[in-house]
Amino acid sequence: MAEGSDDIQALIALMARLPGLGPRSARRVVLHLIRKRSGQMTQLARLLESVATSSRECLTCGNITDRDTCAICADPARANGEICVVEDVADLWALERGHAFRGRYHILGGTLSALDEIGPEDLGIPALIDRIRRDNIREVILALNATVEGQTTAHYILDALPDSNVTVTGLAQGVPIGGELDYLDDGTISAALRARRRF
Amino acid sequence: MAEGSDDIQALIALMARLPGLGPRSARRVVLHLIRKRSGQMTQLARLLESVATSSRECLTCGNITDRDTCAICADPARANGEICVVEDVADLWALERGHAFRGRYHILGGTLSALDEIGPEDLGIPALIDRIRRDNIREVILALNATVEGQTTAHYILDALPDSNVTVTGLAQGVPIGGELDYLDDGTISAALRARRRF
Ligand SMILES: [Zn+2]
Ligand SMILES: [Zn+2]
């Protein structure tokens, strides 16, 4: 037992399985927490316990929340006529950090996949169609990943949408702000060139 | 409040301050834990709480333990005549993973530093000298970092040791196993060349 106690070893092993960490970073984090006598470890334990107990999915949009309806769905200041469809909660968080969208969301929780037997129901697509009809949505933004799976799913939703006056849009593709051409993949450069615009 | 709840935001902020993490990895880890419905988060909370409560320093060597005397100091199978002096608990862990040393340890908890006002007492060097005398230590291995601070501290300990038949050694310097010369710093290459040996 090199690492101090059974609990320390178990803690390192558990942390090492977290995404982006590994045995080496897990050991560093645990040592750091043990050294900090300021109670950071206890605070972390308390927050993990609280989040584990209270986190659930918003019944309307699928966002992670500690209530039936998430803060975004409940916010009266946000536009009701726009739904932004994303694959994942992480995408919603990223868009919110951008402060560019002030409407509502729908989180699919994945993409369609015949191989993994993920169908439209698993992604809440029928519920999304209902919501678009019921809430008089004017614009649906399909903010799905620019991957084959993301785009296949976007096209499925496009076809499934009711024939109405709802506008369906997608995110623009191009060079990221601050992006150096040299570091971009070829697909992005081609897409940015095709979508070129006048100054 | 983009990230679901106040507690989720606080958890991400706390995790983002851990070594090797940042806001991005903290968000990924927290989302991963929320998604895992297997209770990984509760388990992590429980272990953090337990380690925070029970961790302390071994009264003999300074190792992190949940007892007065750590498992290494208490192990009757380990050699009593050898003490390996390390800067940090992380170094002890690294040496134990190597399974090459079967003696006892002394953890300094840092290096001598006039600037930071860290003197011999802060590193437990007088206690180390006492221990060497009292326990009839035959060999002291100064396994300090190959930095200026580490080597200054090693030389201080060397001078402070009693004039007796105790052998003082240091770790060999050279090319790491699997190390490619091209990727090594010049100092390591020079040291390895100076310490070259016959095949
Ligand atoms: Zn919601
Ligand atoms: Zn000990």
The two beta strands, A167-170 and A82-86, are: unpaired
Residues of A in contact with B101 (CB under 8 A): none
- Please tell me the predicted confidence (pLDDT) of residue B97: 84
Whether B162 is covered by a domain: the verdict is yes
Q: B81 and B165 in one domain?
A: yes
Cβ–Cβ gap A14/B44 under 8 Å: yes
- Please tell me the predicted confidence (pLDDT) of residue A159: 92
Q: B74 and B29 in one domain?
A: no
Q: A14 and A86 in one domain?
A: no
Whether B137 is covered by a domain: the verdict is yes
Domain carrying residue B127: 70-170
Whether A28 is covered by a domain: the verdict is yes
Cβ–Cβ gap B48/A33 under 8 Å: yes
Q: B16 and B77 in one domain?
A: no
Q: B89 and B140 in one domain?
A: yes
Confidence of residue A37 (pLDDT cuts 50, 70, 90): low
B98 touches chain A (CB under 8 A): no
Distance from CA of A123 to the nearest CA of B (A): 15
Query: In angstroms, how far apart are the furthest CA atoms of chain A?
Result: 67
Whether B89 is covered by a domain: the verdict is yes
Characterise A141 by phi-psi region: left (phi > 0), alpha (psi -120 to 50), beta (else): beta
d(CA B185, CA B199): 24
- Please tell me the predicted confidence (pLDDT) of residue A40: 87
Q: A137 and A74 in one domain?
A: yes
Q: A98 and A10 in one domain?
A: no
Mean pLDDT, chain B, rounded, equals 88
A41 touches chain B (CB under 8 A): yes
Q: Which amino acid is at A43?
A: Q
d(CA A110, CA A88): 7
B96 touches chain A (CB under 8 A): yes
Whether B108 is covered by a domain: the verdict is yes
Query: In angstroms, how far apart are the furthest CA atoms of chain B?
Result: 67
Question: DSSP labels for A84-144?
Answer: EEES-HHHHHHHHHHT---SEEEE-SS--BTTTTB-TTTTTHHHHHHHHHHTT--EEEE--
Distance from CA of B76 to the nearest CA of A (A): 14
Distances B23 to A54, A93, B26, B132, B188 between C-alpha atoms, Å? 22, 12, 5, 46, 35
Q: ∠ at Cα A169 (A167, A173), nearest 5°? A: 165
Whether B76 is covered by a domain: the verdict is yes
CATH number at residue A16: 1.10.8.420
Residues of A in contact with B2 (CB under 8 A): 92-93, 96-97
Q: Are B108 and B152 in contact (CB under 8 A)?
A: no
Which regions in chain B score pLDDT beneath 50?
A: none
- Please tell me the predicted confidence (pLDDT) of residue B38: 65
With CA atoms as reference, the chain B residue closest to A48 would be B45
d(CA B146, CA B194): 15
CATH number at residue A136: 3.40.1360.10
Q: A152 and A75 in one domain?
A: yes
B15 touches chain A (CB under 8 A): yes
Q: Which amino acid is at B103?
A: G
More confident residue, A188 or A108: A108
ipTM at complex level: 0.77
d(CA A199, CA B87): 60
The two beta strands, A64-65 and A56-57, are: antiparallel
Whether A76 is covered by a domain: the verdict is yes
More confident residue, A39 or A86: A86
**Which stretch of A71-75, A173-177, B28-32 has the lowest confidence by average pLDDT?**
A173-177
Q: B165 and B76 in one domain?
A: yes
Whether B103 is covered by a domain: the verdict is yes
Cβ–Cβ gap A44/B15 under 8 Å: yes
Q: List the A82-86 sheet strands across, edge first.
A: A104-107, A82-86, A139-142, A167-170
Q: A127 and A75 in one domain?
A: yes
Q: Are B4 and A62 in contact (CB under 8 A)?
A: no
Q: What is the pLDDT of residues B123-135, one digit of tens each?
A: 999 999 999 999 8
Q: B93 and B43 in one domain?
A: no
Number of domains into which chain A is organized: 2
More confident residue, A172 or B76: B76
Distance from CA of A147 to the nearest CA of B (A): 20
Mutation site, B44, B53, B54, B57, interface A, largest A CB count within 10 A: B44
Q: B110 and B38 in one domain?
A: no
What average pLDDT does this structure show over A73-98? 91
3-state secondary structure of B71: helix
Tokens of residue B92, six digits: 């002890």
